[in-house]
Structure 1
Amino acid sequence: MPTESIKLYKQMVGNQVKADGYTFCYVVTASVKAVALREGMQVHGRALICGWCSNVVVETNLLNLYLVVGELDRARRMFDEMFERNVVTWNSLVSGYVRWGEIDKAFEVFREMPEKNVVSWTSMIVGFVKDGKCKRALSLFYDMWRACVKYDQVTLVAVLSACAELGDLKLGKWIHSYHIVHGDLDVKKDEDLVPLHNALVHMYASCGFVDESFKVFKAMPRRSTVSWTSMIMGFAKQGRGEEAIDVFRWMQRFGDDDVRPDGITLLAVLCACSHSGLVVEGRYFFQSIQMWRIQPMIEHYGCMVDILSRAGHLDEAHRLIMSMPMKPNDAVWGALLGGCKIHKNAELASLVAEKLIRALDHDEAAGYLVLLSNVYATTKKWQDVVDVRRMMVEDKVKKTAGRSLIQLNEIIHEFMTSEQKNQDAHMVYRLLSDVTK
């Protein structure tokens, strides 16, 4: 236990036993695991007194401590003052910045590195993916490939996540074919490839190829809870709710002993019911959440409200919201508002919109105000439509423009709603016109 290691070190100091570099490394590592900054700083001071802070291994461990606890400025000063740095030192700083969302600083350090290894490249790719900069992640992956750096499972999991986000099926299939099917992957002995297979399941499903996703899933020699959940969500997003429920039932019957549904699994099942209009099944699975000893999250309530609202059970959905043990957020109220639009219930829509306007900033509420205006329009309450629109103009409320991704000639383009500035916009609109004729 990390805390026991720290206690032993304190006894050692109290008994005036001289520590060496190994001791300092072990104790700093224990401080990192225990997130014990104060104890780590005391070790740092002792290492300075004993002359061990010129040792690159000891200093790198101390640097990692400050990075883990978020002391980024202190860590950077220490890095700049180090007499010697190795690739592990540089990687620690890059990973630390990535951990705390400082992606630009991480990339600045990455570019300055005199030597890069697979950890360096992978840390930066993961950082871009986490920051939503998936195009930059894929661009860096191609740079890594051109630099002839041998990537590993962690690299490919991150790249597949970027492919899933961008809908880049071609690169995802290439990774599947050349690096998994043909075995062109540097795999350590006894390494568990479940995370990589999970990423493939997610990638194919996100690109709309859920049957390919299911093939990968069925071929997996071992499956984790994430594997089952990803497959359920894949079917759910394609509106194949009954197949998603079948997978959930197979999970209960044939899953490994250490595999149990968690909150995300049940959420995926509820999403399947929502996308497929399975109200009876949705009620059953929602009521069975606690049977699995899972504490219902706000997302579970939001999904159930969506199921009921889409099906026209607006009063039941409203009662469920009012009975929630936590404060409903805008997504929950928004699901009910969406149901009001479908079933033309202007009275309830007005009540829901009022709650949203009170809870959100003007710009955050913009989409819901537009939705409310549409509800009034479908029920021919034209004066109410005018009033909502006037309020949006007077309060300078702006709705965030929608974004779309399209792959054209193997290049992924991003567009905003009604955008004309993109140089390829005219070509895309012409193709879209041809497709929809």
Structure 2
Amino acid sequence: MIMLALFGAVLLLVLMNVPIAVSLGIVAIVAMVSSQGMDILPNVALVTFNGATNFPLLAIPLFILAGAIMNASGISHRLIAFASSLFGWIRGGLAHVSIGSSLFFAEISGSAVADVAALGSILIPGMKEKGYPAPMAAAVMSSASTLAIIIPPSIPMILYAVMAETSVVQMFVAGIVPGILGAAGLMGVASFLARRYNLPRDEAFSMRRVAHTARQALWAFLLPIIILGGIFGGMVTATEGAALAVVAALVVGLFIYRELNLKELKKAILEGGIQTAIVMLLVATSALLGTYLSEVQAPQALAQAVSDFTSNKWVVLALLNVLFLFLGMFLHSAAAIILVIPVVMPLVNLVGIDPIHFGLVVAINLGIGQQTPPVASVLMVACSIAKASVWEVTRVNVWFIGILLAVLLLVTYVPMTGLVLVEMFYR
């Protein structure tokens, strides 16, 4: 009952347009003062500070900054040109270019919102000029951008690993196969819709153009190889890899592509700082709520209550899928992870669910949440760029959401889909 009351209070404040981080802080402080009195207030600052200074969390602002610098350094244009040379000859080629570009860009940014903002501002107008209906252009770009939540280096995966006290690197590795499967499925739906709308082929296939655009995008390809190769090879931690990403982005933007000037660099730093502040304020205030819940042993009570109902981990996974699909409609991925993961992890451990497997399930669930109104942060950005109605876009987007749901079910009930590489290299 305590958890239901707290979550209900948070959701009520959120629906009243109170920022999520502020809602978490208000509810946590009221609960702590009600149970322990005013003497607890001096500890509030210490708890929030400690909650936001976990070393692995440093990877989040660094990856955000790296993505912002890469957006300003011409990398997205080169990735789009290369993807266009590969997929432009297919009917509805620009839709496939959008998915292919997102697959590459996801390996750099770690953020679906950054993905749709960087690539969508170029590709959505391009699709509309070629005769694509605006709702389809927005739906393709929105759903493709969700790959950034599944493909490493995913910021939600970093948050989950910190909250669940598990390996960031293994989370990254687990996302590779499901991310590729998701991209293939999205391309299949794009082909179906291209025939349905009789969309054009953009240009004939040319091996010479593929080679030329590949040379132009060489450094864009090397960046994820250097960063992720270092992380997966055990040479650097995820946090050190994020710092390496910032340095590499600066070198490429300033000295190789030479498209990053001081004005753009300042803009990228400000953008990265704003995004970081939003995430880290969520982390800090959620630490208050997490501390209170731990003190009243609410997570353990939830685990005991569910285990009394069923100890079958597949049933528990089904219940948690429903929970996260629902929460994804109302909360941003960072908020959902921070708010819920510390509560449900005792249950997950009690029924024997692998924490890496569960983390992948959570990531895909929240990726779907980015496509389902009313919050749907990624969908809203795509609709804004396309100047299309959210509900018109959603009617097209249900086809792509269906693919993401299929990947979710496959990962949930065939765990080796995500764990095969983890088992191969780390266990």
Query: Considering the TM-score relative to the shorter chain, is it more than 0.5?
Result: no
More helix by share: 2
TM-score normalised to structure 1 length: 0.19
Which fold has the larger relative contact order, with Cα–Cα distance below 8 Å and residues 6 or more apart in sequence? 2
TM-score normalised by length of structure 2 = 0.20
**Rg larger for:** 1
